[in-house]
Chains A and B, each alone.
Chain A
Amino acid sequence: MTSTLLYTILSLSLLGGLLAVVLYLIAQKFKVQEDPRIDQVLEVLPGANCGGCGYAGCRAFAENFVKNPDNPDFFCPVGGNDVMKKAAAVLGRDVQEQIPKLAVLRCNGSCDVRPVLNTYDGSPNCAVAADLYGGETGCSYGCLGLGDCVDACTFDAIHINPQTGLPEVVEDKCTSCGACVKACPRNILELRPKGPKSRRIYVACANKDKGAVTRKVCSVGCIGCQLCVKACPFEAITFADNLAYIDPAKCRLCRKCVAVCPTGCILEINFPPKKQVTNNE
C-alpha cells in the first residue's frame, strides 16, 4: 500500500516538475517582445474599454499612445486630464489639457409642450421609430424618447425622465465617450464643453422647419427669429435652416441670448436665478 502511494507521489511530482520546466522554456522562447511602457500606461488607464477615445479598448489606446505620444488627439474621456497627465508621465512627457465635455440633448420638447398626436406601438427603439416616421409628435426632428441613448451608455449616465419623456444626463457620471451621440438616430445629442462650474448654454432645439410650423408642433422650439444672433456680443450664434446654434468655442456664457429668446428654447444650466429687475419709472 505504502509502495503504491510512494510511487504515485514520485511519478506525479516528477511529471509535474517536468511539465513546469517545459512550459517555462516555451514561455521564454515564444515570448512576445513588447514595450514594457505599454503595460505601465495600461495601469493608469481606467480600464473601462468603452471606446470613447476612438480605439478598440484601453490596451489598443496604450499601444498607440506609446508609439506616437506627440499626437494631440489622444484623450481618454473617462479618465480625463488626470489620467492623461499620468500616462504622459510614464513616457516622460507632458500633455495638453483638454476641455472636459459632456453630452447635451438639443431638444426640450417634453409632453406638456409638444403635443402627442399618435401612439407608437412598434419595437421600442429610437432607430426603428425614426426609420418609420416622424414620431409621436408633429416635430420630426425632436427626441423620440425611446431610449437608444440609455441603452448605449455603459456608465449609467443617462436616463429617461418619466415625467418629461426626455433623456437626462447625470453630470458626474458622463465621461463624454460619445456612445449616446452615435446611438441617437436624430443626431440631437451633442458633446459640449462642461464649462466652468458645469455651466453651459445651448439651443435646445433641432427643428429646421419655418417658425410658424415649429410653433404649431412645439411651444419651446426655435422659431428662427434671430434675436439671439443679434444679441450675442461675441458672434457666437450662427443661424442656418431656420435654426440657431451656439458655438461653444466662442460662447462666454453671458446669458444675453437667453434673456431675449421669446420661446425659451435656449437653456442655461447651473446658473443662479436672475435677480428680478424692478423698474419703478
Chain B
Amino acid sequence: MDKLLISPAPHLHSKDSTRRIMRDVIIALMPSVLVSVYFAGLSALLVLVVSVAGCVLLEHLIARYLMKKKTTISDLSAVVTGILLALNLPVSSPWWMVLIGCIVAIGIAKMTFGGLGHNLFNPALVARVFLLISFPVQMTNWTVSNSIFRPDTWELPKGLLGAQGQLLDASSGATPLGIIKEGLANGMTMETLSQQHDFSYWHMLFGHIDGSMGEASVLAILAGLFYLLIRKVIRPVIPLSIVITVALFSGILWLTDPSQYADPIFHLLTGGLLLGAVFMATDYTTSPMSPLGMIIFGVGIGAVTMVIRIWGAYPEGVSFAILFMNALVPLLNKIKPFPYQKEVSRG
C-alpha cells in the first residue's frame, strides 16, 4: 500500500457492534418464539411475520423518505422491535391490528424521537399499551387455534375446557392473573380459585397457560436470559432488581393473608413479568446507564407492577410499570456515578 493510513489512537477495536448485539438479542428470543409457534401454530407465525416485516419496512420507509437519510434497518433493531411486539400480543391478533402496532412502535415511539438511541419509551411496549387501550376485546382474546404442530394427545390447559370438558373456541380474560383479579373481586378466596382452575407452576414454566405469545413459557425466557448474560449483552442488575422487588412485595402481602394474595412464585411466573424484566426493561436506550440508576429503575418497575396488579384496574401491570419508569430514566441518568477517587489529596 503506497499511502499510509493515519488516524488517532486507539488503532484497534473490539468485535462488538450494534448489529451484533441485536443479533444476540434475536437469538435469545428464539426459544420464546419457537415455543409460541409450537403451541399456537400458524396464528403465532402469522403475527410474528407481520410484525417483523411491518416494523422493518416501516423503518426503512420513514428513514429514507421522511427523514431523508440512509436506511437504518441494517442494524437489526427493527427486527428486535418486531419480535418483541409480536411476543406481547395474543396469538389471535388480526393482521391489521399487528400492523397498527408496528406503526405506533416504529413510527411514533421510535422514529419521531429521532430513531435508534433517541427514543424515550420502549417502542414495543408503547405499541402494546396503545393496542390494549384501543382494542381491548381483541387484546384479551386468547383463542388457541388447532395447531398442526401440536399433537392431539397433548393435555390442554384447564382454563380452555368447558364444564363438559369440551374445547372452547375462545375465552377472554382467562389468564391466571385475570382469573384471580375477577375471582377475588367477586369475593372468592385463593383456595377456591386454585381448585377451580389450573395454576400449576409446571404449566407456567412450559407454556401451557394462556396469555400473550411471549409470556407463556418461562423456561424459554430464562434460556434467553442465560444466553444474554454469557454474551455480556445485558447485566443482571435490572432483571434481578425487578424480580427481587416483586418477590419481596408479593411475599410480604402473601404472608399477611394467603387467602387474598397469590404467592410470590405465582407473581413471578405470570403476567409477562419475566419477559418484561429480561427483554423490555433491559433495552439499552430506555434504561439508565449507571448501576445505581439501574437498581432504582428495577425497584420502581417491580413496585409499580405490584401496585397495579393488586390495587389497579388492570390484572397485569408490567407494561405500564416499564413505561412509567422509562419516563424517569433521564432523571436517573443525572445521578453521578460513584467517584473514582476523592477530589482532595490523600491524608
Note whether A and B contact each other (Cβ less than 8 A). Answer: yes
Binding site for B on A (CB under 8 A): 116-123, 128, 131-133, 136
A-B contact pairs, 15 of them (CB 8 A): A117-B3, A117-B4, A118-B3, A118-B4, A118-B6, A119-B4, A119-B5, A119-B6, A120-B7, A121-B7, A122-B6, A122-B7, A123-B8, A128-B8, A136-B6
A133 contacts B6, CB within 8 Å?
yes
Nearest CB on A from B189, distance (A) = 41
| Bound Cα distance A121, B1 (Å) | 15
A122 contacts B4, CB within 8 Å?
no
Nearest CB on A from B12, distance (A) = 13
Instruction: List 15 other contacts, CB 8 Å, given A117-B3, A119-B3, A119-B5.
Output: A116-B3, A118-B3, A119-B4, A119-B6, A120-B7, A121-B5, A121-B6, A121-B7, A122-B6, A122-B7, A123-B8, A128-B8, A131-B8, A132-B7, A133-B6
Give the 5 A-B CB pairs with smallest separation, nearest first: A122-B7, A121-B7, A118-B4, A122-B8, A132-B8
> 1/0 per position for B3-46, CB-CB distance to A under 8 A?
11111100000000000000000000000000000000000000
Nearest CB on B from A44, distance (A) = 35
Which residues of chain B have C-beta atoms less than 8 A from A119's C-beta?
3-6
| Bound Cα distance A118, B5 (Å) | 6
Interface residue ranges of B209-252 to A (CB < 8 Å):
none
Which residues of chain B have C-beta atoms less than 8 A from A117's C-beta?
3-4
| Bound Cα distance A123, B7 (Å) | 8
Task: For A128, give the chain B residue with the smallest CB separation.
Answer: B8
Which residues of chain A have C-beta atoms less than 8 A from B6's C-beta?
118-122, 132-133, 136
| Bound Cα distance A132, B8 (Å) | 7
| Bound Cα distance A120, B6 (Å) | 5
| Bound Cα distance A120, B8 (Å) | 9
| Bound Cα distance A172, B297 (Å) | 53
Interface centre among B3, B4, B6 (most CB of A within 10 A): B6
Which residues of chain B have C-beta atoms less than 8 A from A118's C-beta?
3-6
Nearest CB on B from A120, distance (A) = 5
| Bound Cα distance A116, B8 (Å) | 18
Task: For A117, give the chain B residue with the smallest CB separation.
Answer: B3
Which residues of chain A have C-beta atoms less than 8 A from B8's C-beta?
122-123, 128, 131-132
Nearest CB on A from B63, distance (A) = 21
Nearest CB on B from A140, distance (A) = 13
| Bound Cα distance A122, B9 (Å) | 9
Which residues of chain B have C-beta atoms less than 8 A from A131's C-beta?
8
| Bound Cα distance A132, B10 (Å) | 13
| Bound Cα distance A136, B6 (Å) | 9
Which residues of chain B have C-beta atoms less than 8 A from A120's C-beta?
6-7
Nearest CB on A from B265, distance (A) = 50
Task: For B4, give the chain A residue with the smallest CB separation.
Answer: A118
| Bound Cα distance A144, B8 (Å) | 15
> 1/0 per position for B295-336, CB-CB distance to A under 8 A?
000000000000000000000000000000000000000000
Nearest CB on A from B201, distance (A) = 52
Nearest CB on B from A102, distance (A) = 30
Which residues of chain A have C-beta atoms less than 8 A from B4's C-beta?
117-119
| Bound Cα distance A8, B6 (Å) | 74
| Bound Cα distance A122, B7 (Å) | 4
| Bound Cα distance A105, B329 (Å) | 46
Interface centre among B3, B4, B5, B7 (most CB of A within 10 A): B7
| Bound Cα distance A136, B5 (Å) | 10
> 1/0 per position for B40-68, CB-CB distance to A under 8 A?
00000000000000000000000000000
| Bound Cα distance A133, B4 (Å) | 13
| Bound Cα distance A132, B6 (Å) | 9
Task: For A122, give the chain B residue with the smallest CB separation.
Answer: B7
Task: For A121, give the chain B residue with the smallest CB separation.
Answer: B7
| Bound Cα distance A117, B4 (Å) | 8
Task: For A116, give the chain B residue with the smallest CB separation.
Answer: B3
| Bound Cα distance A116, B3 (Å) | 9
Which residues of chain B have C-beta atoms less than 8 A from A133's C-beta?
6
Interface residue ranges of B148-172 to A (CB < 8 Å):
none
Which residues of chain B have C-beta atoms less than 8 A from A123's C-beta?
8
Nearest CB on A from B160, distance (A) = 45
Task: For A135, give the chain B residue with the smallest CB separation.
Answer: B6
Task: For A123, give the chain B residue with the smallest CB separation.
Answer: B8
Nearest CB on A from B5, distance (A) = 5
Task: For A134, give the chain B residue with the smallest CB separation.
Answer: B6
Which residues of chain A have C-beta atoms less than 8 A from B7's C-beta?
120-122, 132
Task: For B11, give the chain A residue with the smallest CB separation.
Answer: A121
| Bound Cα distance A269, B159 (Å) | 86
| Bound Cα distance A120, B5 (Å) | 6
Which residues of chain A have C-beta atoms less than 8 A from B5's C-beta?
118-119, 121
Nearest CB on A from B255, distance (A) = 47
Which residues of chain B have C-beta atoms less than 8 A from A122's C-beta?
6-8
Nearest CB on B from A123, distance (A) = 8
Nearest CB on A from B195, distance (A) = 47
Nearest CB on B from A148, distance (A) = 16
Which residues of chain B have C-beta atoms less than 8 A from A136's C-beta?
6
| Bound Cα distance A132, B5 (Å) | 13
| Bound Cα distance A132, B11 (Å) | 14
Which residues of chain A have C-beta atoms less than 8 A from B3's C-beta?
116-119
Nearest CB on A from B2, distance (A) = 10
Task: For A133, give the chain B residue with the smallest CB separation.
Answer: B6
Nearest CB on B from A130, distance (A) = 11
| Bound Cα distance A57, B7 (Å) | 37
| Bound Cα distance A217, B339 (Å) | 49
| Bound Cα distance A172, B4 (Å) | 40
| Bound Cα distance A123, B10 (Å) | 12
| Bound Cα distance A46, B7 (Å) | 42
Nearest CB on B from A249, distance (A) = 40
